Structure 1
Amino acid sequence: MRVDGRDITVSGSLLQPLTRRTNDIVRVVLSALFLAVVITSSLITRNEWVALERSISEIVAVLTPTQANLVYLVYGIAIVALPFVILVSLIVSRQWKLLGAYAAAAAIAGLALSVSGFGLTAPRWHFDLSGRLDTFASQFVDDPRWIAMLAAVLTVSGPWLPGRWRRWWWTLLLAFVPIHLVISAVVPARSLFGLAVGWFVGALVVLVVGTPGLEVPLDGAVRAMARRGCTVSTLTVVRPAGAGPLVINATCEEEQTTAVMELYGPHQRGGGVLLQLWRKLRFRDRETAPLHASMRRLVEHRALMAIAIGELKIANTSTIAVSALDRGWTLYAHTPTRGIPISEAVDSVPVARVWESLRELHDCQITHGDLRPSEITVEDGVVLFGGFDNAEYGATDAQLRTDIAQLLVTTTHLYDAHSAVRAAIAAFGNDTVLTASRRLTKAAVPMSIRHSVTDAKAVIAEAREEVKRQTRVDEIRAETVTRFTRGQVIQLVLLAALVYVAYPFLSSVPTFVTELRTANWWWALLGLAASGLTYLGAAAALWACADGLVTLRGLAVMQVANKFAATTTPAGVGGLALSARYLQKGGVSPMRATTAVALQQSVQVITHVSLLIFFSTAAGVSTDLARFVPNVTLIYLGGGVLLGLIGTFLLVPRLRHWLSTAVRPRLQEMVGHLGALAREPKRLAVIMLGCAATTLGNAFALWSAIEAFGGDTSFITVTVVTMVGGTLASAAPTPGGIGAVEAALIGGLAAFGMAAAVAVPAVLLYRVLTTWLPVFVGWQVMRWMTRNNKI
């Protein structure tokens, strides 16, 4: 490379990888989304598009056919000339590299819209073209292939040409929308599709070919270094621009010293903006620094922090130059890193010196923000810091505590937890370290810190436990650093699921309310009391499964919250997780809690099936149950599928191995627990009675709802129908079995001869008493238990 008459040797690759071109990737994503929206709206709402566009065209049409032809002619000439003007401008500006991309984009966009079932033809969309103005120019104005080619070449050549030209050309191309509407000709849906295709094709070509922002302005960087007294003789690329800046080692002629040049391109600027926005959306305001308006301001901030920390004599680099370069690049030059990495000086440097250096920073209200081992060095026994990308002057207390938590992780990894925590307490005090240790969580410790240590999860847990031992506390409650906690996100998802599953029910509310006027409310209250019996039964069964390690009263309250968690998640998995979590919070070990919940569910299934067989037999004596028996074809089909699954699991080695290593031990463990339970008759009786109370309580609630509307049927019949509906609820993929349960219960009652005028409102009242009212109450109970750290 030759700069100002001097030859400078450049070694290494300057090419940025495709996966790191943030701006180009964002352009491709946006163009793909726009194309998807245009296609979807054209296919799904085709008739609405036609009607809307024609009505708008009739309203704004103000030109006569002669005037419309004239407008078409003028605009058509401009559109025809546009690509040739762009081509000439590229030739004049000597953008020879771009000519191939220009031709490729035009050819791909044109051919993409010319392919049809009859070969290469012009596409004919859903418009009637018989009334079009028959002019030569209109063929170009309305042809989506031409629009696509123009959009593609504009997208490809835009970054290489002046911004003013680019804006005028896009304005001219997009003018087809108002022109179509004003002259009352064919409306622009086809041309809009061509525009979307052209933009997408051009964005892909730009991603492959690149933009001027990828060309590194090394000559400007060399001149900026010369102004700071460093006449560069050689440049050696250390790392191409990617996730971080382009790093180049520069040799200065005067003193034969070396300087490190970091060049930040426009793609780092785009990625930096997205990263800042993501942090603002994810973390609370006190956890994040103010937004930087540009990459240049971000680089200047880093350079100024290096100067400030250098004044404290604990910075391992010194700022040489900061300069804005051509094509959106920014230069930050500094001296090479002084000292050796802390990872190589662990045996000779006590951990206390690392914490003393951090204390010097914090005494000046400065935080580092990225205390990885690679950013800490040692020179002459003094611990120094580098990086400063995330450093802050005048930092908040939250940022100061984050620094301490980060260094706890790093020093625990480098030294050991005992000495790291002891040195931290000696430097900052017992209370400060204890407060900071609340940030020893995955959310609070940055990903860069976690990736810099081996087994970050174990290191963080070890540091937290050591803080508990040395500060003599029983528990360290994690601090909330994100805007939304995991519990809040789960509650939001559950609430959305609840609204979703309740929507079909809400549509039938008016008719249901009308029927309620004739209901007997005493029976409804009796049904509500029977519904409450199910919570006591479930609590008693779980209490016995857990050997009475938690209180029965607390379990009864938990069952109310469990109703919300189980109803709003498919197959009730949320209820199982909530039960296990409550037992753990009550002092039961995780393994024992999981076993207790699994044991309760196993006994519940056995009890449910036993009761179903018993009541079905009792009902079958006087009632025809043929309607509940599936068709013979369905039975054969189900049997064939079952046999096919069994054969698949037996023949496929991986599935067979999974059965033997994962499923079989758990089944053996469960059978063992059931066998042990059988040797304790009192405990087994409590569990089975509790499970039976859950099933029979629901049946009694449905029977009460039927009586409330004047129905006449036996309790045995209702029990069979209820258990069939409960079986379908467990198999249905919808939360709470919405839809499947109602249909099964109404169909079951109809099978026993009940009129729909009674069955429908009775089932809806039953679902209100046993599902929807408890769900809303359970939501509040779950929030209360969360606030009181019971789950």
Structure 2
Amino acid sequence: MTDSARATLIPAPPEPVAGVPTRRPAWWHTVLSIVVLAAAAWVVWRHWPVLERGAVRLAAADRGWLLVGATATALTWVCSALAQQGAVARALPPRRLLAAQFAASAANHVLPAGLGAGLVNLRFLIRCGIPTARSATALAVKATAGGIGRGALIAVLTLACPGVLRLPHVSGTAVALAAAVTALVAAVPFTPLWARCRRALVAVVTDIRAVHVRPRRAAALWGGSLAFAALHAVVLIAVTQAVELPLPPARVALLYLAASTAAVLLPTPGGLGSLDAALVLALTLAGAPGSLAASAVLGYRLLTVWLPLVPGLLVLGLLIRRKAL
């Protein structure tokens, strides 16, 4: 076959049209990276007095205990990755999973009510090939295990430290009102919204059962969830020891778990403001001096939020740039 005949059988590639790119550009990845970097710079500038004042106060603290707190903070990301792996049956890439948890912790301090961490983890699971519905269910499974684990720790520490937590007095009128509201909700007719909620709940229960079919996945889910909450308490304990706050470690852990659970009711980014006020109030009511309680909470925030925030946002921008999210 001659060259001219071969040319007639093999069509030439289409010529590029003016103004139309030959491939889909990843311009939005660049935009998101710039937005993330701008957010990091704004957060540092906005809260620079807090960062400076906290660094000065902690300069005289025990560095050994601060190192313990920093180590516990780093381990929280490992435990979060372990719990996320335990919530899905498919094996996830370990390095990217850990990087995603580090980035999610930073995003969680930018958006309110845990929305940042949820979005990052959801996008990561989808990028790993897990369907959107299954990814959302996996996040719900992880959140359920985290809530149950936190409740179990509170129950154990409450028995170990009797008298620290006191249930508020509930009047008979409040009980009657709650009973009436419950009866009204139960009497609401079957609606499509309730049907969707029920299907979502069934999906979560089904995935929890599927996880427990594999003992290693179940151990990762529950072990990672328990260790995640416990390590955050260890960070605060280490800081209280560093500033010589006169409270037993078990009591500090119980106060942290109770205050952080209460702070969830206020949808601030990463609990900023709500958790700080709740922790200072809890430590002060437990007998700690106000200045030491404020220094301890500030040190806890420095280790868990401010120091890893900018690196976490940089990792988030890198993962976006590399299309891992």
Q: C-alpha separation between the residues in 2 aligned to 1:565 and 1:523?
A: 27
Contact 1:494 1:569 in 2 (8 A): no
Query: Displacement, 1:595?
Result: 2.4
Q: Aligned partner of 1:698: which letter?
A: H
Q: 2:214 aligns with which of 662, 672, 680?
A: 680
Q: 2:36 aligns with which of 471, 481, 491?
A: 491
Q: Aligned partner of 1:532: which letter?
A: A
Contact 2:236 2:252 in 1 (8 A): yes
- Taking a change above 3 Å as real, the CA distance of residues 670 and 607 of structure 1, as seen in their structure-2 partners, is same
Q: Name the counterpart of 2:78.
A: 536
Contact 1:539 1:555 in 2 (8 A): yes
Q: Name the counterpart of 1:555.
A: 97
Q: Name the counterpart of 2:134.
A: 592
Q: Which has the higher helix share?
A: 2
Q: Name the counterpart of 1:666.
A: 200
Q: Name the counterpart of 1:754.
A: 288
Q: Name the counterpart of 1:700.
A: 234
Specify the structure having the higher radius of gyration (Cα). Answer: 1
- Taking a change above 3 Å as real, the CA distance of residues 759 and 693 of structure 1, as seen in their structure-2 partners, is same
Q: Name the SS of the counterpart of 1:571 in structure 2.
A: coil
Q: Name the counterpart of 2:247.
A: 713
Q: Aligned partner of 1:693: which letter?
A: A
Q: Name the counterpart of 1:107.
A: none
Q: Name the counterpart of 2:157.
A: 615
Runs of 4 or more above 6 Å deviation: none
Q: Name the SS of the counterpart of 1:682 in structure 2.
A: helix
Q: Aligned partner of 2:36: which letter?
A: Q
Q: 1:525 aligns with which of 67, 80, 86?
A: 67
1:82-135 CA distance string (max 9 Å, x none): xxxxxxxxxxxxxxxxxxxxxxxxxxxxxxxxxxxxxxxxxxxxxxxxxxxxxx
Contact 1:576 1:597 in 2 (8 A): yes
Q: Name the SS of the counterpart of 2:114 in structure 1.
A: helix
Contact 2:80 2:225 in 1 (8 A): yes
**Is 1:632 aligned with 2:161?**
no
Q: Aligned partner of 2:269: which letter?
A: P
Q: C-alpha separation between the residues in 2 aligned to 1:675 and 1:757?
A: 48
Of 507-516 and 673-682, more deviation after overlay is shown by 507-516
Q: Name the counterpart of 1:787.
A: 321
- Taking a change above 3 Å as real, the CA distance of residues 550 and 711 of structure 1, as seen in their structure-2 partners, is same
Query: Displacement, 1:693?
Result: 1.4
Where do 1:406-421 residues align within 5 Å?
none
Q: Aligned partner of 2:296: which letter?
A: A
Where do 1:342-741 residues align within 5 Å?
429-430=13-14, 432=16, 436=20, 477-478=24-25, 480=27, 485=31, 487=32, 491=36, 499=43, 506=48, 508=50, 511-620=53-162, 623-626=163-166, 629-632=167-170, 637=174, 643=179, 646-647=182-183, 649-650=185-186, 653=189, 656-741=190-275
Query: Displacement, 1:680?
Result: 3.0
Query: Displacement, 1:764?
Result: 0.4
Q: Name the SS of the counterpart of 2:319 in structure 1.
A: helix
Contact 1:702 1:762 in 2 (8 A): yes
Q: C-alpha separation between the residues in 2 aligned to 1:520 and 1:514?
A: 13
- Taking a change above 3 Å as real, the CA distance of residues 631 and 549 of structure 1, as seen in their structure-2 partners, is same
Contact 1:728 1:737 in 2 (8 A): no
Query: Displacement, 1:524?
Result: 0.8
Q: Can you give the 5+ residue segments of structure 1 that lack an aligned partner in the other structure?
A: 1-425, 439-475
Q: C-alpha separation between the residues in 2 aligned to 1:563 and 1:552?
A: 17
Query: Displacement, 1:748?
Result: 1.6
- Taking a change above 3 Å as real, the CA distance of residues 775 and 648 of structure 1, as seen in their structure-2 partners, is farther
Q: C-alpha separation between the residues in 2 aligned to 1:515 and 1:731?
A: 30
1:405-464 CA distance string (max 9 Å, x none): xxxxxxxxxxxxxxxxxxxxx7x934737x9476xxxxxxxxxxxxxxxxxxxxxxxxxx
Q: Name the counterpart of 1:105.
A: none
Q: Aligned partner of 1:781: which letter?
A: V
Q: C-alpha separation between the residues in 1 aligned to 2:238 and 2:33?
A: 37
Q: Name the counterpart of 2:276.
A: 742
- Taking a change above 3 Å as real, the CA distance of residues 509 and 575 of structure 1, as seen in their structure-2 partners, is closer
Q: Aligned partner of 1:605: which letter?
A: G
Percent of residue pairs identical: 25
Query: Displacement, 1:725?
Result: 2.6
Q: C-alpha separation between the residues in 1 aligned to 2:153 and 2:15?
A: 59
- Taking a change above 3 Å as real, the CA distance of residues 479 and 737 of structure 1, as seen in their structure-2 partners, is closer
Q: Name the SS of the counterpart of 1:632 in structure 2.
A: coil
Q: Can you give the 5+ residue segments of structure 2 that lack an aligned partner in the other structure?
A: 1-10
Contact 1:538 1:694 in 2 (8 A): yes
Q: Name the SS of the counterpart of 2:247 in structure 1.
A: coil
Q: C-alpha separation between the residues in 2 aligned to 1:558 and 1:630?
A: 40
Q: Aligned partner of 2:165: which letter?
A: L
- Taking a change above 3 Å as real, the CA distance of residues 566 and 753 of structure 1, as seen in their structure-2 partners, is same
Where do 1:80-95 residues align within 5 Å?
none
Q: Which has the higher strand share?
A: 1
Q: C-alpha separation between the residues in 2 aligned to 1:484 and 1:686?
A: 35
Q: C-alpha separation between the residues in 2 aligned to 1:573 and 1:493?
A: 19
- Taking a change above 3 Å as real, the CA distance of residues 689 and 431 of structure 1, as seen in their structure-2 partners, is farther
Aligned pairs, number: 315
Contact 2:138 2:207 in 1 (8 A): no
- Taking a change above 3 Å as real, the CA distance of residues 751 and 783 of structure 1, as seen in their structure-2 partners, is same
Query: Displacement, 1:479?
Result: 5.1
Contact 2:30 2:321 in 1 (8 A): no
Query: Displacement, 1:718?
Result: 1.7
Q: C-alpha separation between the residues in 2 aligned to 1:640 and 1:484?
A: 56
- Taking a change above 3 Å as real, the CA distance of residues 430 and 525 of structure 1, as seen in their structure-2 partners, is farther
- Taking a change above 3 Å as real, the CA distance of residues 745 and 665 of structure 1, as seen in their structure-2 partners, is same
- What's the C-alpha RMSD, in Å, of the aligned pairs? 3.2
Contact 1:512 1:764 in 2 (8 A): yes
TM-score, structure 1 normalization: 0.37
Q: Name the SS of the counterpart of 1:717 in structure 2.
A: helix
- Taking a change above 3 Å as real, the CA distance of residues 589 and 535 of structure 1, as seen in their structure-2 partners, is same
Where do 1:235-254 residues align within 5 Å?
none
Q: Name the SS of the counterpart of 2:191 in structure 1.
A: helix
Query: Displacement, 1:676?
Result: 2.9
Query: Displacement, 1:723?
Result: 1.1
Q: C-alpha separation between the residues in 2 aligned to 1:765 and 1:721?
A: 16
Q: Name the SS of the counterpart of 1:432 in structure 2.
A: coil
Query: Displacement, 1:561?
Result: 0.5
- Taking a change above 3 Å as real, the CA distance of residues 521 and 483 of structure 1, as seen in their structure-2 partners, is closer
Where do 1:45-60 residues align within 5 Å?
none
Query: Displacement, 1:509?
Result: 5.2
- Taking a change above 3 Å as real, the CA distance of residues 561 and 479 of structure 1, as seen in their structure-2 partners, is closer
Q: C-alpha separation between the residues in 1 aligned to 2:55 and 2:211?
A: 47
Structure with the greater relative contact order (CA < 8 A, sep ≥ 6): 1 or 2? 2
Q: Name the SS of the counterpart of 1:738 in structure 2.
A: coil
Query: Displacement, 1:650?
Result: 4.4
**Is 1:772 aligned with 2:306?**
yes
- Taking a change above 3 Å as real, the CA distance of residues 543 and 784 of structure 1, as seen in their structure-2 partners, is same
Q: Aligned partner of 2:82: which letter?
A: A
Q: Aligned partner of 2:234: which letter?
A: F
Q: Name the SS of the counterpart of 1:702 in structure 2.
A: helix
Q: C-alpha separation between the residues in 2 aligned to 1:510 and 1:492?
A: 21
TM-score, structure 2 normalization: 0.84
